[in-house]
Amino acid sequence: SAERYPEAREVRVLEDFNQCLKDLGPDDYVVIVTRGHLHDRDVLAQALRTEAGYVGMIGSRGKRDAVYRSLLENGYAQADIDRVFCPIGLAIGADTPEEIAVSIVGEMIRVRAGVQG
């Protein structure tokens, strides 16, 4: 809610994840960190239907491989999968939630700046 995040530019409270990412363009960035990873695959599928400039998903390599396999089996192309940053964030040895957030933002800045890594 807006009360919970008073500094946010926009707060979306959704019943479900259907159509939550519509109308995203190259200047928009998607960071997928759903509660318990229960909806990561569904949100990633929606993100890949957009032109978002950055799509990142938190998770282990094992989870990533299972999600990618499912998407490929359901008609997504390898080029779609190649857009995804997972595990998300720069490899800086981040341990705490705050450090992980910094590594994610660092990765988004690198993408925006067009720096290969």
Under CATH, which number does the domain 29-89 receive? 3.40.50.720
On average, the pLDDT of the chain sits at 90
Lowest mean pLDDT among 4-8, 15-19, 51-55, 105-109: 15-19
Tokens of 15: 């019943």
Tokens of 101: 């957030």
Tokens of 68: 């990618």
Closest CA to 49 of 14, 84, 22: 22
**In the prediction, which pLDDT does 117 show?**
67
- Asked whether the predicted pLDDT for residue 94 surpasses 70, the reply is yes
Q: Could you read off the pLDDT of 32-71 as tens digits, one per residue? A: 988 767 788 999 999 999 999 999 999 888 999 999 999 9
CB of 45 within 8 A of CB of 77? no
Q: What is the pTM of this model?
A: 0.84
